[in-house]
A and B are shown apart, each in its own frame.
Chain A
Amino acid sequence: MSSVQSIIDALCEKALHPDRTVAESCKQAGKEAVGFYLYAPEELAYAAGFLPVGIWGGSTEIKLADRYLQGFCCSIMRADIEYGMRGTYNRLRAVMLPTVCDTLKCICENWKVAVPQVPIIPVVYPQNRTLPAGEEYLREEFSRVRRELEDLAGQSVSDAELEAAFAVYEAWREAMRAFTKVASTHPQTVHAKARHLIIKAGSFMDKAEHTREMIQLTRLLAELPEETCAVRAVATGLVGEPLGVLDSLRENDVAIVADDLAQESRQFRVPARAEGDALSKMVWRIADQKGCPFLYEPEKTRGQKLIDLVKENKADAVITLQMKFCDPDEFDYPIYKAELEAAGIPLLYLEVEQQMDSFGQIGTRIQSLAEMLL
């Protein structure tokens, strides 16, 4: 029987080697992979017999992408174009990218030219997503994506297959929510870096397989005595990277006990509504997502959501992992910063890029936060 540590180690290993993991997952499931970033109708690709895998950039030297993008472009997207041009993504049958910010609009367009060997399927999410016209539009947009995936697969997707795929994803999301809850009481075993990698591994595995691992891990973890740490923090931003930041958190005994990261909880925190068919449920999951910088929300509830997360998880502080040049996140920051200040919650702002190699100053800031909260 697997121990907690061996499951964690195995998942971390998978997350650290996406290339190998994707190859193994494809082989095991007998499927071909389709890439996605941020939000994408993964269930459609899954139903069409593909293995959806995350393309979240990476820490690599940017050379080829300079042909298309200025240096002040978000480092995740620069890395994605770089990998695409370099051939790293040649295994993918297609990629689905959501048009939720100005940069992504341009990336979809450049992709057509820069990475012609991997077809791009842009997914235009409506910003007025709670209006009936917006819901109807998204349904039609998903239907278009479904047709493109069907063409790619050379077979049509039945409604039953889509329902089944949705069920796989919904089970995964439930397992992930259960895991993050238990992980928050075990901040040593599930330290910042392990937490990130365990979740990220799901990006490169068959979701059914990842769900099985997560259920077992959560069950074993719950049997262990609860643990303490110096600082319990809530992370917000795009991704919990680069890893150097997480190393620094661990060195200072700062744990991430809950998150509002695009790559992590925002992928699974919204449960499906009970009614409707799979397509409607997919549309409503977008309508019901709140406090996300990429989805229009005039009430801007992100600050309140962070305050709630702090309270629910007995956290001491919020850490902003600001991916440099990510406009939507940068616009939200001053608003929730003021709200957290008013609520008396300490906030640490860390500006990060994927291609960072020096973590000295970041380490100083994290250590200072820990000293401040002593």
Chain B
Amino acid sequence: MYLGIDIGSSSSKAALLDDGKKILGTKIVNLGTGTKGVYEALENLYAEAGITRADVRYTVVTGYGRLLYKDADRQITEITCHARGMHFLMPQVRTVVDIGGQDSKVIRLDEDGTVRNFVMNEKCAAGTGRFLEVMARVLGCSIGELAVLAAQATEDVAISSVCTVFAESEVISQLSQGAHPNDVACGALRAVAKRVAGLCGRVGMEPEVAMSGGVALNATMVRILGEELGCDVTPAPDCQAVGAIGAALLAREFYRKANPVETA
């Protein structure tokens, strides 16, 4: 059995794979790096698959918290893992978008699923989950509720500022002028989508485009990103676990490479 772990800034994900590349299970816990989240996810995963830690031959850890996790055999970046996971789940995909809490990234894949090129957001928070968090705070809701509000929007309120601080004051003044929170929420999603579209341009986007990560659960965000890119965007199945699945696939690969006889 092979284990992939993806420790993000706000959630921990784990995936289990067998020798035949069959996914035995995935688990997501909404606690990120520096918490007990990852151990909780693993416990649940083992229990559900009816195995113990001793059954795991090889573990790869990825994500923002990968360097702090000491029980893995190897750590690999989320770029490589998302690419690998996505190619496994949706082999036709050439561009992967992942909007993370700290970092957003766009990855260009070759036909065989290897990374051709990638870009990440710069230091500025616009275009990341952090921007959505700030917007949600102004609207007095959670990020999850932001999506619900946005889905009911009747029009977009344009949030033009790129700077998160400016955008915050812009949104406050929009609200005080009577803009509907639904429309402001929609505007916040569009502002992020525009930034991510910029990253797509830089990496040289090619169809098909798919989204991984928790933000892909937000159907409004997926739709708006598609509008900004001028093409269809598909959320990956089990989108939150794409990085963990990629890590598990790599774990299997590394193990087999190191033990060619046993796995032949």
Contact = CB atoms under 8 A, between A and B. Distances in A.
A371 interface: yes
A275 interface: no
B64 A360 contact: yes
A365 B104 CA distance: 12
Contacts, number: 40
A7 to B, nearest CB: 33
B115 A365 contact: no
Nearest to A356: B123
B122 interface: yes
Contact of A368 (B64, B67, B79): B79
A351 interface: yes
A368 B122 contact: no
B118 A368 contact: yes
A368 B98 CA distance: 15
Contact of A364 (B103, B117, B119, B204): B103
A252 B77 CA distance: 12
A368 B119 contact: no
A363 B65 CA distance: 12
A188 interface: no
A353 B122 CA distance: 11
B80 interface: yes
B115 A372 contact: yes
A324 B115 CA distance: 26
A346 B117 contact: yes
A367 B77 contact: yes
Nearest to B114: A372
B122 A351 contact: yes
B64 A371 contact: no
Contacts of A56: none
Given A346-B117, A371-B115, A372-B114, A364 B79 contact: yes
B77 A349 contact: no
A372 B80 contact: yes
Contacts of B123: 324, 351, 353
A328 B61 CA distance: 40
A208 to B, nearest CB: 42
Interface in A346-374: 346-347, 349, 351, 353, 360-361, 363-365, 367-368, 371-372
Interface in B61-95: 64, 67, 76-80
A360 B117 CA distance: 19
Interface residues of B, number: 19
A324 B123 CA distance: 10
Nearest to A365: B120
A299 interface: no
B256 to A, nearest CB: 15
B44 interface: no
Nearest to A337: B202
B102 interface: yes
Nearest to A373: B115
Contacts of A351: 122-123
Nearest to B102: A361
Nearest to B119: A349
B119 A371 contact: no
A368 B80 contact: yes
Nearest to A338: B204
A14 B146 CA distance: 54
Nearest to B103: A361
Interface string B41-67: 000000000000000000000001001
B120 A371 contact: no
Contact of B77 (A346, A353, A364): A364
A367 B67 CA distance: 12
A268 B103 CA distance: 38
Given A349-B119, A365-B120, A371 B80 contact: yes
A361 B123 CA distance: 9
Interface string B94-130: 0000000011000000000011111110110000000
A273 B48 CA distance: 75
Contacts of A368: 77, 79-80, 115, 118
B117 A371 contact: no
A349 B117 CA distance: 11
Nearest to A361: B103
Given A324-B123, A341-B204, A361-B120, 5 more contacts: A324-B122, A353-B123, A364-B120, A368-B118, A371-B76
5 closest A-B pairs by CB:
A368-B79, A368-B77, A371-B80, A372-B115, A367-B77
30 contacts: A341-B204, A346-B117, A347-B117, A349-B119, A353-B123, A360-B64, A361-B102, A361-B103, A361-B120, A363-B67, A364-B77, A364-B78, A364-B79, A364-B103, A364-B120, A365-B79, A365-B120, A367-B76, A367-B77, A368-B77, A368-B79, A368-B80, A368-B115, A368-B118, A371-B76, A371-B80, A371-B115, A372-B79, A372-B114, A372-B115
Interface of A: 324, 341, 346-347, 349, 351, 353, 360-361, 363-365, 367-368, 371-372
